[in-house]
Amino acid sequence: MRDFRRSLKDGNILIFDGGMGSLLQRRGLKPGQSPEEFGMARPEVVAAIHAEYAHAGAHVVTTNTFGATRHKLPAGLDVFEVNETMARAARQAVGEGVFVAGSVGPTGKMVEPLGDITFRGLVEIFKEQIRGLVAGGVDLILAETQFDLAEARAVVVAAREVCDLPVGVSMTFEGGVSLTGTSPEVFARTMENMGVDLIGSNCSAGPEELILVARAILASCSAPVLIEPNAGLPELVDGATVFRLPPDPFAATVSTLAADGVACLGGCCGTTPEHIRALFALCGDRPVARPAFEDRPCLTVTSRSVAVDFGFDRPCRIIGERINPTGKAELAAQLQRLETRQVLTFAEEQIVAGADLLDVNVGAPMVDETRMLPLAVRALTSAHAAPLCLDSSNPDAIRAALEAYPGSALVNSISGEAERMETLGPLCRDYGAPFILLPLKGRKLPVTASERLAIIEELLAKAEELRIPRRLILVDALALTVSSKPEAAKACLEVIRHCRERWGLGSTMGLSNISFGLPARDLINSTFLAMAMGAGMTSFIANPNTARLRESLAAGEVLLGRDRQASSFIAAYSGWTPGVSAGPAVAATAEEEGSPVFTAVMKGQKDRIADLLAARIAEGADPFALVDGEMIPAIARVGEKYERKEYFLPQLLLCAETMQTGFDSIRHLLVREGQEARDTVVMATVEGDIHDIGKNIVCLMLRNFGYNVVDLGKDVAAADIVAAAVEHGASVIGLSALMTTTMVRMEDTVRLVRERGLTCRVMVGGAVVTRAYADMIGAHGYADDAVAAVRVATQLCAEVRQG
Ligand code: THG
């Protein structure tokens, strides 16, 4: 019986197949045609390619279903049928001795707030596809070329809801991060939390580029690793992208990855059966040389861009407690109105003060937590990189928030109360969400350590029954008020020590409970923090904006030998005066100078910008001066940060939307008699291509900079683009294409513009488009991202004006 999980455990290297697209092109796939459509018409061609790969030594072949989802397949093709048929074709071609991986590519849709689809919507799209793959007899589900962590999570959740097959997820990185800002480390840790069977990377610039990515993944997880590079750097030949690294040098470089411990190797764009044959000869059936995964943390919480490890050799982590309406009437009132303004203010303050994570509790009377918690999550994850701790007694709210969250959030909490583990446990397991295990059960508070440990032990047993791995569990040592229960503090310390020694589990607590009813609470809290750190506590929930707590934490890290050469301590406290607050141990980055309007755009404060502008205008500010002197410079600064990789796509989008919201709110004040007409840009994704994420971002950025943008959408014929440019008197046409097969359509528009003698300029861009290609087809400008597009459009408009 074929069992892919068993083969992974066997300890021998598995060879995957190589590219499908370029081989199909050689056998009749037309530029712009969907490979799935071609495969349905000519299944024997697809089968022959699979057979060639199997013959070349591949242990695993990958189905021709990369784009076989609802929104990507051409009209008239049924998702289930395509996936089932293509999976069958692979199986029949390779027989029973070779594994068939069901390929799942990105949908071309971004999950909100980056795009317009919900996480659940994505899961449903993938489930439709995966049902077909399962019916066609695949051995594993393989998500490939993923670029967004939320979408990668959606594939895993979908696979779990449809079948028990093993799941592999492979992400593509450019310059060390994915398009939406995820590093290989964050990706690997998030996937490991989800229990993914195979974690990897594919595509990218070629085998050399993937060496560092592979090492980063290997050092961040214990799951087997898959690497599938392209056949070298893409080059342009006669208008098409080709990959020219020959089989032997390809195999030579890729096989060095085997020495690093990669378990599964294959090829991506441009690789052929010859590449796979050469690879097989060098490392097929050799033992996997994976060194032990050292330095393993107890637990890791992630956001889209940050992984925070908890462990006995890691800094004790601060979970900021302030996003909690208890005792905060204004926050409670805002939450009832589903507003996120104060939530965002508290987030900002706590991050500046050094919080590693933010606890998010929106529970108050008359607050609809199931709506409010995901709203807060979306607002917080758009604005900040800090991972979140979802604090709610309502399981529906937790579920909704986990769906809205792009990484591995910490769930707060699972107690011994009836059904809590049964409902939340499987959810946390399937969504890869670590959780706080709270030793509370029944009416009686467990005061002694042994009472708490008994409940913890019972919950651990339940978790094990539910197949929840230990790496998802963080124990709450339960800080009770020492003023009424004198033995409570000692019991906490014992629980911390026991969890560490007996189970290797990390711990946390709501620190301030301990001092309730006493004077000088900060003094008690910070002293207890030091004691608990000594006992092995890995994190605590508190207000990070408490100088004394931060002082104890910083000193504690020195004393526990985790702040090497006391360098962080010295940096923050060398000029310390007792009683005077020093900077946080984590130095806050110097804040950008600027007006509140400037800052609001820079930080993407979408809820605040309209009020700020209205206030300034009420004070008599000139609306034009606000736009030209504050908003445009702010969005330009955002662009610089994006280019320096300090901001990623989520921040760029949020800031651009903030700009747009602000602009819309004062638009009525921005009409001037005899106003100089704004330059018009006509934007389109070319014919045959249905990818519009990049094009939409360019539209948003151009509008931000005052351009009149006519967005023609996707899959637009050259004649229609040129007609629209004439109709609207456009200065610039902007063309986008994601695929090498559709990129060639750009040339049609350039030719038409020339033939008709139009003055308007054409700029091009998109994932596979290069400057060399732009030059070759005679485009006037090339932009490699949305920020560059604004610069290029400005340049081209100036050229048009000068004639
Ligand atoms: N364990 C776990 N989760 C928890 C707790 C715990 N979550 C909630 C709580 N305890 C930790 N969070 C808070 C949040 C706020 C306050 C205390 C603990 C607090 N609020 C002030 C008040 O009530 O008056 C408001 C003061 C302010 O403005 O900050 O003190 O133990 N797993």
Q: 324-382: per-residue pLDDT in tens?
A: 999 999 999 999 999 999 999 999 999 999 999 999 999 999 999 999 999 999 999 99
| Crossing angle (nearest 10°) for helices 395-404 and 369-383 | 30
Query: Is residue 234 a part of any domain in this protein?
Result: yes
Give the percent of the chain with pLDDT over 90.
Answer: 75
Query: Is residue 407 a part of any domain in this protein?
Result: yes
Phi-psi domain of 294 (left: phi exceeds 0; alpha: psi -120 through 50; beta: other): beta
Distance CA 576, CA 570 (A): 10
Do 632 and 529 lie in one domain? The reply is no
Looking at residues 744-773, what average pLDDT do you find? 91
Query: Is residue 288 a part of any domain in this protein?
Result: no
Query: Is residue 447 a part of any domain in this protein?
Result: yes
CB-based contacts of 713: which residues, under 8 Å, 6+ apart?
Answer: 684, 685, 692
Please give the backbone phi and psi of residue 545, each rounded to the nearest 5 degrees, phi first.
-85, 45
What CATH code is carried by the domain that includes residue 773? 3.40.50.280
Furthest C-alpha separation in the chain? 89
- Cβ atoms within 10 Å of 335's Cβ, excluding its own: 27
Query: Is residue 312 a part of any domain in this protein?
Result: yes
Do 48 and 183 lie in one domain? The reply is yes
Distance CA 275, CA 267 (A): 8
- Which atom of ligand 1 approaches the CA of 511 most closely? 31
Give the percent of the chain with pLDDT over 70.
Answer: 97
Query: What tens digit of pLDDT does each residue of 98-122 get?
Result: 999 999 999 989 998 888 899 999 9
Residue with tokens 């030793």: 439
Do 333 and 229 lie in one domain? The reply is no
pLDDT recorded at residue 592: 59
pLDDT recorded at residue 590: 41
The two structure tokens encoding residue 140: 């594993």
Q: What angle do CA 650, 656, 657 make, to 5 degrees?
A: 90
Name the band, by pLDDT with cuts 50, 70 and 90, for residue 585. very low
Tell which one of 543, 546, 549 to mutate to probe ligand 1, the residue whose CB is within 8 A of the most ligand atoms. 543
- Cβ atoms within 10 Å of 236's Cβ, excluding its own: 20
User: Is 90 within 8 Å of 61 (Cβ atoms)?
Assistant: yes
Q: How many residues does the chain have?
A: 803
Q: Whose CA is nearest to atom 2 of ligand 1?
A: 510
User: Is 417 within 8 Å of 179 (Cβ atoms)?
Assistant: no
Do 314 and 205 lie in one domain? The reply is no
The DSSP code sequence of 188-220 is HHHHHHTT-SEEEEEETT-HHHHHHHHHHHHTT
Residue with tokens 């919201």: 661
Query: What tens digit of pLDDT does each residue of 593-650 get?
Result: 788 999 999 988 888 999 999 999 999 999 888 988 899 889 889 888 888 888 888 7
Looking at residue 566, what DSSP letter applies?
A: G
CA of 59 to the centre of ligand 1 (A): 54
Distance CA 400, CA 407 (A): 14
**3-state class of 703 per DSSP?**
helix
Its pTM stands at 0.88
Do 469 and 517 lie in one domain? The reply is yes
Do 33 and 61 lie in one domain? The reply is yes
Query: What tens digit of pLDDT does each residue of 494-529 get?
Result: 999 999 999 999 999 999 999 998 899 999 999 999
pLDDT recorded at residue 239: 65
CA of 651 to the centre of ligand 1 (A): 29
**3-state class of 132 per DSSP?**
helix
Query: Is residue 564 a part of any domain in this protein?
Result: yes
240-243 and 264-265 as β-strands: parallel, antiparallel, unpaired? Answer: unpaired
Do 649 and 787 lie in one domain? The reply is no
Q: What angle do CA 14, 16, 17 make, to 5 degrees?
A: 155
What CATH code is carried by the domain that includes residue 65? 3.20.20.330
Tell which one of 310, 319, 321, 359 to mutate to probe ligand 1, the residue whose CB is within 8 A of the most ligand atoms. 321
Distance CA 467, CA 223 (A): 16
User: Is 395 within 8 Å of 423 (Cβ atoms)?
Assistant: yes
Distance CA 414, CA 398 (A): 11
pLDDT recorded at residue 586: 42
Q: Whose CA is nearest to atom 9 of ligand 1?
A: 510
User: Is 227 within 8 Å of 265 (Cβ atoms)?
Assistant: yes
Q: Whose CA is nearest to atom 24 of ligand 1?
A: 327
Query: Is residue 581 a part of any domain in this protein?
Result: no
Do 769 and 628 lie in one domain? The reply is no
Distance CA 221, CA 216 (A): 9
What CATH code is carried by the domain that includes residue 537? 3.20.20.20
Query: What tens digit of pLDDT does each residue of 435-487 get?
Result: 999 999 998 999 999 999 999 999 999 999 999 999 999 999 999 998 888 88
Query: What tens digit of pLDDT does each residue of 132-141 get?
Result: 999 999 999 9
- Which atom of ligand 1 approaches the CA of 478 most closely? 31
Average of per-residue pLDDT values in the chain: 92
Ligand 1 binding pocket (C-beta < 6 A) is 321-322, 324, 326-328, 361, 391, 412-413, 436, 438, 476, 479, 509-510, 512-513, 541, 543
pLDDT recorded at residue 617: 92
Do 497 and 619 lie in one domain? The reply is no
User: 203 forms bridges with which residues in the sheet?
Assistant: 229
Q: Whose CA is nearest to atom 29 of ligand 1?
A: 322
N-terminal to C-terminal alpha carbon distance within the chain: 72
Q: 573, 600, 629: which is the final residue of a domain?
A: 573
CA of 363 to the centre of ligand 1 (A): 12
More confident residue, 172 or 565: 172
388-391 and 410-415 as β-strands: parallel, antiparallel, unpaired? Answer: parallel
240-243 and 234-237 as β-strands: parallel, antiparallel, unpaired? Answer: antiparallel
Distance CA 391, CA 411 (A): 6
Residue with tokens 């994006």: 642
List strand residue ranges (DSSP E) for 496-578, in order.
506-508, 539-542
- Cβ atoms within 10 Å of 325's Cβ, excluding its own: 21
Tell which one of 394, 496, 512 to mutate to probe ligand 1, the residue whose CB is within 8 A of the most ligand atoms. 512
User: Is 142 within 8 Å of 62 (Cβ atoms)?
Assistant: yes
User: Is 518 within 8 Å of 486 (Cβ atoms)?
Assistant: no
Distance CA 514, CA 649 (A): 42
Please give the backbone phi and psi of residue 255, each rounded to the nearest 5 degrees, phi first.
-70, -20
Distance CA 264, CA 269 (A): 17
CA of 64 to the centre of ligand 1 (A): 52
Q: 542, 573, 604: which is the final residue of a domain?
A: 573
Q: Whose CA is nearest to atom 21 of ligand 1?
A: 327
Name the band, by pLDDT with cuts 50, 70 and 90, for residue 1. low
pLDDT recorded at residue 437: 98
Name the band, by pLDDT with cuts 50, 70 and 90, for residue 308. very high
The DSSP code sequence of 237-284 is ETTEEEE---HHHHHHHHHHHHHHT--EE---TT--HHHHHHHHHHHT
- Burial category of 669 from C-beta neighbours within 10 Å (exposed 0-12, middle 13-18, buried 19 and up): middle
Enclosing domain of residue 12 = 4-283
Distance CA 140, CA 625 (A): 58
Number of domains in the chain: 4
Query: Is residue 289 a part of any domain in this protein?
Result: no
pLDDT recorded at residue 672: 62
Q: Give all strands of the β-sheet with 781-782 in edge-to-edge order.
A: 708-711, 680-685, 732-736, 761-765, 781-782
Query: What tens digit of pLDDT does each residue of 414-437 get?
Result: 999 989 999 999 999 999 999 999
Do 482 and 560 lie in one domain? The reply is yes
Query: What tens digit of pLDDT does each residue of 216-264 get?
Result: 999 999 999 999 999 988 777 776 678 889 999 999 999 999 999 999 9
The answer on pLDDT for 539 being more than 50 is yes
Q: 250, 283, 316: which is the final residue of a domain?
A: 283
Do 616 and 526 lie in one domain? The reply is no
User: Is 347 within 8 Å of 268 (Cβ atoms)?
Assistant: no
Q: What share of the chain is helix, strand, coil (3-state, %, to 5)?
A: 50, 15, 35
Do 619 and 761 lie in one domain? The reply is no
User: Is 81 within 8 Å of 364 (Cβ atoms)?
Assistant: no
Q: Which of 131, 151, 67, 137 is nearest to 98 (CA)?
A: 137
Distance CA 745, CA 737 (A): 9
CA of 356 to the centre of ligand 1 (A): 16
What CATH code is carried by the domain that includes residue 659? 1.10.1240.10
